[in-house]
Amino acid sequence: MNTAAGALQHVTAACASACFLRACELDVAVRKPGNVSRASAGHGMQAELFVASARASVGPLFQPGARVGERIEGAVHATWAVAGCNTNLGILLLCAPIARAIEQRPDATTPAALRAAIEEVLAELDLSDAQATYRAIAHARPGGLGSASSEDVRGPAQVDLRAAMTLAAHRDSIARQYRDGYVDLFGLGLPALGSGFSLMAMPGAGGADITNAAAVLRLYLTLLSRCVDSHIVRIHGDAVAHIVMAAAQGWRDKASRRDDLGDDPEFAAWDASLKADRINPGTTADLTVATLLIAGLSAVP
């Protein structure tokens, strides 16, 4: 591989977009209880809608030179043009700083270097990023958005985007990543995948071999069992979120001992029961996709 600065930046930019699309494909290729997958539709949506959303949003998300807020706002509008609903707001909120980080630091292809690059992006967030992101969130209209006593997204932003996220971090896992430098993704997510995981080595066309599919499932269950899902809390309350969290702990333990958990009828039944009760661990899915993106970028040769 040519390691001249220009060539490296070009290859890394192409890799970043490809990794994002692949991460979004895996979001629906692997059965993740409560979430829409190719094996199990739900919440009035099909898997292909999420794939179409990723393809529509990848251009604005990786727009050269764009600030984080611009990436989020452009990607939300592109998503709505093809989906007509909110399919990926949390994914875009998490992946926009990663996209800007890898553009600014195309050589940041280890977890430590990429984490440092993301921290640099978070430190530079300003009022314009907050304004654009507020508009994007209001346009996306995520379920259970509610209102806030300060820095409500329906009003004008008064602080920079990281400061705004810090205000919401106690109630929202995505906001906590902005405040804490993606601590859950690097500290919980990447270790759960394991050293043998390879994002881009997996089969195309929405497929996943059993070993790597098991890694994605371990990642999802680890996050769901360790981080209270913000989306469940907003829609159903804290008690329901903790019930799901406790159930995920048992399934995570099983996932650590076997690679075929996704084929277990009882596991599929848990997935179906969550959907029947309209329980969607959507924030955990968002964290999963962003972790997969980081894993792909961290493995660039």
Residue 187 has what DSSP assignment? I
Rounded Cα distance between 281 and 298, Å, is 26
Domain membership flag for residue 191 = yes
Domain membership flag for residue 265 = no
In the three-class reduction of DSSP (H, G, I as helix; E, B as strand; rest coil), residue 28 is classed as: helix
pLDDT tens string for the chain (301 positions)? 233 333 334 336 788 999 999 999 999 999 999 999 999 999 989 999 999 999 999 999 999 999 999 999 999 999 999 999 999 999 999 999 999 999 999 999 899 999 999 999 999 999 999 999 999 999 997 654 445 445 456 668 889 999 999 999 999 999 999 999 999 999 999 999 988 888 876 554 445 577 788 999 999 999 999 999 999 999 999 999 999 999 999 999 999 888 888 889 999 999 999 999 999 999 999 999 999 999 999 876 6
Rounded Cα distance between 247 and 264, Å, is 15
Rounded Cα distance between 222 and 121, Å, is 27
Domain membership flag for residue 147 = yes
Total number of domains in the chain: 1
Domain membership flag for residue 203 = yes
Other Cβ atoms closer than 10 A to 206: 16
Question: Bridge-partner residues for 45, per DSSP?
Answer: 42
Name the residue range of residue 120's domain. 5-209+284-298
Determine if the pTM surpasses 0.85. yes
Question: Which residues neighbour 129 within 8 Å (Cβ) at sequence distance 6 or greater?
Answer: 67, 68, 69, 160, 161
Domain membership flag for residue 89 = yes
Domain membership flag for residue 115 = yes
Domain membership flag for residue 279 = no
Domain membership flag for residue 101 = yes
Token output for 217 = 């499932």
